[in-house]
Amino acid sequence: MEATEKDILRGGQFLVKETNCEDVFTPEDFSEEQNMMKEAVMEFNDREIIPNKNRFEAKDYALTEECMRKAGELGFLGVAVPEAYGGLGMGFVSTVLTCDYISSGTGSFSTAFGAHTGIGTMPITLYGTEEQKQKYVPKLATGEWFGSYCLTEPGAGSDANSGKTTAELSADGKTYKINGQKMWISNAGFCRLMIVFARIEDDKNITGFIVEYDPENPNGITLGEEEHKLGIHASSTRQVFFNDTVVPVENMLAGRGEGFKIAMNALNVGRIKLAAACLDSQRRITTTAVEYANERKQFKTRISDFGAIKKKLAEMSASAYAGESATYRASKNIEDRIALREAAGNSHQEAELKGVEEYAIECSILKVAVSEDVQNCADEGIQIFGGMGFSKETPMEAAWRDARIARIYEGTNEINRMLSVGMLVKKAMKGHVDLLGPAQAVQEELMGIPSFETPDYSELFSEEKEMIKKLKKTFLMVAGGAVQKFGPDLEGHQQLLVAAADILIEIYMAESAILRTEKNAKRFGEKEQSVQIAMAKLYLYNAVNIVEDKGKESIISFAEGDEQRMMLMGLKRFTKYQNYPDIVDLRNEIAEKVKAENKYCF
Ligand SMILES: Cc1cc2nc3c(=O)[nH]c(=O)nc-3n(C[C@H](O)[C@H](O)[C@H](O)COP(=O)(O)OP(=O)(O)OC[C@H]3O[C@@H](n4cnc5c(N)ncnc54)[C@H](O)[C@@H]3O)c2cc1C
């Protein structure tokens, strides 16, 4: 069904508008084509990646390159690339799905894949001229060439626009000469093309360039040694040095000084793909953990029968489920927004750019939430394996190390937390999301007398959906109060921003899990969805606790006296269930299901 402007929420609007479950896309809505792609990627992983895990761990970079080439032959590198440039031209959901299912093999391959298809290729498909796209994209889409993205420098990490690499125009105006040093460059060891950011003269903003790299004719480019990293061992990560590297002027991307914009937008896409690229990893960690827990006996009992282990299996499953729910919900919003813009006459390029930009808040939310979920999941996976979890002989150890990077690259989680709230406030200022009206309504509600009626919560998720509404009110109360108090200085109150971001994140993730399950319960029946219902309820219960904690911390930090008391009372009201779910029962139900299936099975 074609989505219309009315059906699709704008980015960030989830906070102030109610979403019907019928309007969210779920993994259960994958088309036949998407399911075929999923199967193909899983088969590739099972055949090429997973049996070679030890070689990846032993830093076999050549194997990473060989597998990338095979992925290219199968079309996986060109899923997002329009057919006109040698790709498959599939939609945004399919792109995300590919990143998802490629992720369970090893973080090394998943990083190489993501760096190439995302930040290594997207800047050209999104910002390139027709000539640039014709010349480079088909090579990248097929895997004839691999791409890398050179933004970070020794002195310019999170502050990416502060790089010192320079680009100097030649006297005849035909070329730029690039000089500088980049570090932490994924795929540097085997790439043929680099997206390089450099500053021209004293420009405020950096500029992007497409730089070819031929090791036979290096054009002033030298590589540092491979970095010795905690995880993703066979992902090539090297420094790149540019010494009078000559680049034709026609290889400038977008315009002079446009590089920072390119870098940030490429990262928006990168962030949602990175979230996806933690999902199958999380599913597989859960499966591996339950397989072990079902086998391992202590005190003459399978450890999976112990309540303490069941709790872990349930929480691991519920967080993976919420991650899937939110990632595919946002992916389809982006896909629909792209389609709408194309229908309105935008080129595919422009539509894609604006479509992703629209949901930059959700992309940041997902990046933070799912990268932390996969890490927690791997950590609990190690715990379930006990001493064996600490051994290199079992898969948990590498999974934990590999997961760690996701919290650092594509913008650290601190930066993404602050971005998510910062972007939302900006959208409100521009009138794209009406936060002011709802925030004022919450203030009035706080002053009013609470209702003492006992609502009828007999319908599935009626109380949970009411709870989500109340969590949204909590965010509006906290963020509204903070904006009122600090105005533009809010930026300097980072601990407050981070706490507000945590509230925002929990709302989006919990709501997505509930909407997905509600939609599925309506079409497949509540009985069939009983474990999914338990997962959505469990996730929400945990979210409520986080919101309560972060809300309290925030209110105490900026409100005093009567205002503080009123807000704390509001918080209590907004985080109170009428009927508390028995989360021990919920966890047991979830754990028994994954134990019986011996895998993550949702
Ligand atoms: C394995 C790996 C692969 C990578 N691949 C690439 C790649 O292909 N291309 C590329 O260009 N880069 C790449 N990076 C670089 C990565 O994007 C950066 O490491 C990341 O952006 C953080 O920058 P930094 O390391 O300089 O840390 P810093 O920016 O120095 O941050 C250090 C700490 O300070 C915090 N911090 C920084 N600024 C603020 C602030 N304003 N407020 C609050 N806290 C702040 C950070 O959150 C972090 O916790 C890669 C890094 C690694 C480790």
Q: Does the pLDDT of residue 375 top 90, yes or no?
A: yes
d(CA 585, CA 562): 40
Tokens 């219902």, located at residue: 533
Q: For residue 560, report the phi and psi dihedrals to the nearest 5 degrees.
A: -130, 165
Q: What is the structure's pLDDT at 429?
A: 86
Q: Whose CA is nearest to atom 31 of ligand 1?
A: 158
The DSSP string of 401-464 is HHHHGGGTSSS-HHHHHHHHHHHHHHHHHHTSS--HHHHHHHHHHHHSPPP-------STTHHH
**Mutation test residue for ligand 1: of 184, 213, 260, 367, the one with most atoms within 8 Å of CB:** 184
pLDDT tens-digit series, residues 180-207: 999 999 999 999 999 999 999 999 999 9
- Identify the bridge partners of residue 153 per DSSP, sorted by sequence position: 156
Closest listed residue to residue 348, CA positions, set 135, 89, 140, 595: 89
Q: Does the pLDDT of residue 329 top 80, yes or no?
A: yes
Q: Does the pLDDT of residue 135 top 80, yes or no?
A: yes
Retrieve residue 29's tokens.
Answer: 């809505």
Domain 148-256 CATH assignment equals 2.40.110.10: yes
Q: Does the pLDDT of residue 508 top 60, yes or no?
A: yes
Retrieve residue 503's tokens.
Answer: 């509230």
Question: Average of pLDDT values for 313-317?
Answer: 98
Sketch the domain layout of the chain as residue ranges: 27-145, 148-256, 266-414, 431-597
The 3-state DSSP class for residue 204 equals coil
Long-range Cβ pairs for the range 163-168 (8 Å, 24+): 163/197, 163/198, 163/199, 163/206, 164/199, 165/196, 165/197, 165/198, 165/199, 165/206, 165/242, 166/198, 166/199, 166/200, 167/198, 167/199, 167/200, 167/207, 167/209, 167/247, 168/200
Catalytic status, residue 548: no
Q: What is the structure's pLDDT at 107?
A: 94
Residues within 6 Å of ligand 1 by CB: 115, 148-152, 157-158, 184-186, 229, 237, 405, 408-409, 412, 414-415, 494
d(CA 390, CA 398): 10
Q: Does the pLDDT of residue 2 top 60, yes or no?
A: no
What 8-state DSSP symbol labels residue 176? E
pLDDT tens-digit series, residues 153-187: 999 999 999 999 999 999 999 999 999 999 999 99
Q: What is the structure's pLDDT at 490?
A: 93
pLDDT tens-digit series, residues 54-73: 999 999 999 999 999 999 99
Marked catalytic residue, from 324, 362, 380, 410: 410
Superfamily of 27-145 according to CATH: Acyl-CoA dehydrogenase/oxidase, N-terminal domain (1.10.540.10)
Our CA angle for 535, 550, 281, nearest 5°, is 40
Question: Average of pLDDT values for 588-597?
Answer: 98
Question: Average of pLDDT values for 360-386?
Answer: 98
Ligand 1 centroid from CA 157, angstroms: 5
d(CA 403, CA 103): 10
Q: Does the pLDDT of residue 1 top 70, yes or no?
A: no
Amino acid sitting at position 173: G
Tell which atom from ligand 1 comes closest to the C-alpha of 412.
Answer: 47
Amino acid sitting at position 361: I
Mean pLDDT taken over the chain: 96
pLDDT tens-digit series, residues 522-545: 999 999 999 999 999 999 999 999
How many angstroms separate the Cα of 258 from the Cα of each of 49, 129, 209? 38, 14, 10
Our CA angle for 441, 444, 448, nearest 5°, is 135
- Kindly provide the residue ranges of all beta strands, DSSP E only, lying in 519-597, ordered along the sequence: none
- Identify the bridge partners of residue 297 per DSSP, sorted by sequence position: 302
pLDDT tens-digit series, residues 448-464: 887 788 889 999 999 99
Q: Whose CA is nearest to atom 29 of ligand 1?
A: 158
Hey, which CATH number is domain 266-414, 1.20.140.10, 2.70.98.30, 3.90.1150.10, 3.90.580.10? 1.20.140.10
Q: Whose CA is nearest to atom 11 of ligand 1?
A: 151
Our CA angle for 338, 343, 345, nearest 5°, is 100
By percentage, how much of the chain surpasses pLDDT 70? 99
Long-range Cβ pairs for the range 389-396 (8 Å, 24+): 392/57, 394/292, 395/53, 395/288, 396/285, 396/288, 396/289
Q: What is the structure's pLDDT at 201?
A: 98
**pTM as predicted:** 0.97
266-414 and 431-597, same CATH topology: yes
Hey, which CATH number is domain 431-597, 1.20.140.10, 3.20.20.60, 3.40.1190.20, 3.30.565.10? 1.20.140.10
